[in-house]
Chains A and B, each alone.
Chain A
Amino acid sequence: MSAMVFRGRVWIVGDNINTDLILPNKAFYLTHAEQAQYVFHANRPGWAQQVRPGDILIGGHNFGMGSSRAAARSLKNLGLACLVAESLNGLFLRNCVNFAFPALECAGISTAFCEGDTAEVDFESAQVRHVARGAVLSGKPLPSQLMALVQAGGVFQLLESEGLIAPKAD
């Protein structure tokens, strides 16, 4: 596994972003790729179409509150490199680990950047650097068991490698 360091343009959203905003019910039956196009459909229509691969999402407190739906998968499939939030909802964090979408808790992140700035995120050391200003914020590293799951590619990748679920072309 290569080092998990991401450098990209940032987008910023506020506190209490919920899963219904990330993956609305109307997208439930669609393919994973199609679902990603509905991220923030209700609160920021047209945003998903502006995201470029490698962009970084910055969130506020309790990011991902709400349901157990695979909202983290949609953020990953949208091409976002990672998420950095003031705090992550516990259930949402589980799905970030499940789908191997790097998500970091980092106090102060929501005011350290403006939209369009470039951030460099070292996921393993939990460091976030404002590339233009050089300022560095330290986040909370993921517990080692969970980091191992992310690095294994998530739960399905792990179970597939152990022969416990059937392979699936996805």
Chain B
Amino acid sequence: MGMTIAEKILAAKSGRKAVVPGDVVTVDVDTVILFDNNFMPNNWRDILKVADPERIVVTFDHRVPAPTQQAAAAQVTGRGFVKKFGIRRFHDVGHDQGISHQLVADYGYALPGSVLLCSDSHTCSAGVFNCLARGVGGPDIIYAAIKGQTWFRCGETVRYELTGRLPDAVTAKDAFLQIAGVHGAHATMNVEYGGPGAASLSINARKTLTAMSAELSAEFATFEADDVLADWLRARNPAPWSPVMADADARYHAVRKVDLSTLEPLVARPDSVVNNSQPVGQAQGTRIDQAYIGSCANGTQDDIELAARVVKGRRVASGVRFIVTPASQTVYRDTVASGAIRTLLEAGAMIAPPTCGACGGGHMGVLGPDEVCITSSTRNFKGRMGDPSSRVWMASPATVAASALTGAITDPREFLQ
């Protein structure tokens, strides 16, 4: 019987001929990523040996630069871990820092067919590189760093067959909100993206889909490998790899077509990402206090440059805080070089340093009582970005930027003709 991409990698990495949904397998892990939260005193356990320091990456991203003494202490512990085991791929606060999932893209850390773990739920982001990447628990990460292995339960796979090309001002975030709005949670299942429409999506756009697949409660999200992926990796990592393609007779839970050319800007209403989407026009006029662009899902060069196109020559509405957070120092430098950051600054945006920041309500844009935010980040759960009474709408960076200009939820097509 044929296998999906996820099943093939699970089989290869567990040394089996085949796996089927329901199997629990032990697999070898190629890359283990640790970040600042792992090193917080209430999470960390002192590791006495690691399987292979070359398979470990360490970054600080959730709370950077350290906003509290506890966050600073976690970084001290992390630096000690790096030194003790001679971890070479260390992204300390400074030139090479960034959100872990963005670093995976910036540095080509995930290769097709590999297995990557990090204890952040949006780790499925790296599946854009035709690999198996999963967010796991903190203890899973410590276990994998020590033993070089982890377990997975194989689920069924839903395949999204992309066709067409996105209209201007419509983004991969809108495509995601379409899928999440119609199909809801994919709990216990894998999501596989492919089809002829994928070729028109950049790696950054695809990464929005894979990162946001965490919100579908997917086990793994994977893209097919193609020339766009090969070009991206070739520029960043010389290591050899082979693409993993699904078998022609692979068994899917469902195969669903998404025609990108028919999509429009969408928003998710507050409190739930899935089953909660509507056309931006239906929310038009909803007053906002804050507009946020950033996170592993939408803090890329594409996202920041799109926002700059929307606000160019205009000013952020009075009373609105427009916060833009590049997902990594590389993205930050690239968007300074392209002029996008200057355009955003001139419009009145605040530029935050690369961090998960306000996406998780950590710092750099936390919401107060009854405040309303429109965000391009990953989650709109109740209380997620601050006070439990605050309300978080989710949309594309274009819609967020347009809303920052008017002070209310706004269709970005008005500003991108």
A→B interface (CB under 8 Å): 16, 18, 20-21, 24-26, 28-32, 35, 41-43, 61-62, 65-70, 72, 87, 89-91, 94-95, 98-99, 143, 145-146, 154-156, 159-160, 163-166, 168
Q: Given A91-B137, A159-B143 in contact, is the A20-B121 Cβ separation under 8 Å?
A: no
* A-side contacts of B281, CB under 8 Å: none
* A-side contacts of B272, CB under 8 Å: 16
- The answer to whether A67 and B360 touch across the interface, beta carbons within 8 angstroms, is yes
Residue of B nearest to A98 (CB): B139
- The answer to whether B383 and A20 touch across the interface, beta carbons within 8 angstroms, is yes
Q: How many A-B pairs fall under 8 Å by CB?
A: 130
The 0/1 profile, CB within 8 Å of A marked 1, for residues 236-264 of chain B is 00000000000000000000000000000
The distance from the CB of B232 to the nearest CB of chain A, in whole angstroms, is: 26
* B-side contacts of A68, CB under 8 Å: 119-121, 135-138
- The answer to whether B121 and A90 touch across the interface, beta carbons within 8 angstroms, is no
Q: Which of B45, B135, B140 has the most CB of A within 10 A?
A: B45
- Residues from 364 to 417 in B contacting A, C-beta threshold 8 Å: 379, 381-384, 388
The distance from the CB of B81 to the nearest CB of chain A, in whole angstroms, is: 12
- The answer to whether B47 and A91 touch across the interface, beta carbons within 8 angstroms, is no
- Selected from B46, B49, B70, B383, the residue in CB contact (under 8 A) with A29 is B70
The distance from the CB of B398 to the nearest CB of chain A, in whole angstroms, is: 26
| A28-B40, A31-B42, A164-B47 known, 15 other contacts, Cβ within 8 Å | A25-B360, A25-B362, A32-B42, A61-B187, A62-B187, A66-B379, A68-B119, A68-B138, A70-B138, A89-B217, A155-B139, A163-B48, A165-B47, A165-B142, A166-B46
Complex A-B, nearest 3 residue pairs according to Cβ-Cβ distance, in ascending order: A42-B388, A155-B139, A166-B46
B24 within 8 A of A: yes
Number of interface residues of B (CB under 8 A): 46
B68 within 8 A of A: yes
The distance from the CB of B208 to the nearest CB of chain A, in whole angstroms, is: 18
The distance from the CB of A139 to the nearest CB of chain B, in whole angstroms, is: 15
- The answer to whether B47 and A43 touch across the interface, beta carbons within 8 angstroms, is no
B219 within 8 A of A: yes
- The answer to whether A156 and B45 touch across the interface, beta carbons within 8 angstroms, is yes
List, sorted by A's number, 17 A–B pairs whose CB atoms are closer than 8 Å.
A25-B362, A28-B40, A30-B42, A62-B185, A65-B185, A67-B135, A69-B37, A70-B137, A89-B187, A90-B153, A90-B188, A90-B219, A155-B143, A156-B139, A164-B146, A165-B46, A166-B46
- The answer to whether B388 and A154 touch across the interface, beta carbons within 8 angstroms, is no
The distance from the CB of B359 to the nearest CB of chain A, in whole angstroms, is: 10
* A-side contacts of B219, CB under 8 Å: 90
Bound CA span A129–B406, Å: 57
Bound CA span A2–B383, Å: 40
Q: Given A26-B361, A31-B42, A146-B151 in contact, is the A155-B142 Cβ separation under 8 Å?
A: yes
* B-side contacts of A145, CB under 8 Å: 24, 26, 151
Q: Given A42-B388, A145-B24, A146-B24 in contact, is the A166-B45 Cβ separation under 8 Å?
A: yes
Bound CA span A59–B146, Å: 34
* A-side contacts of B147, CB under 8 Å: 164
* B-side contacts of A65, CB under 8 Å: 185, 187, 217
Bound CA span A26–B43, Å: 15
* B-side contacts of A43, CB under 8 Å: 382, 388
Residue of A nearest to B185 (CB): A62
* A-side contacts of B37, CB under 8 Å: 28, 69
Bound CA span A70–B153, Å: 20
Residue of A nearest to B68 (CB): A29
* B-side contacts of A99, CB under 8 Å: 137, 139
* A-side contacts of B143, CB under 8 Å: 155, 159
* B-side contacts of A156, CB under 8 Å: 45, 139, 142
Bound CA span A104–B381, Å: 25
The distance from the CB of A6 to the nearest CB of chain B, in whole angstroms, is: 22
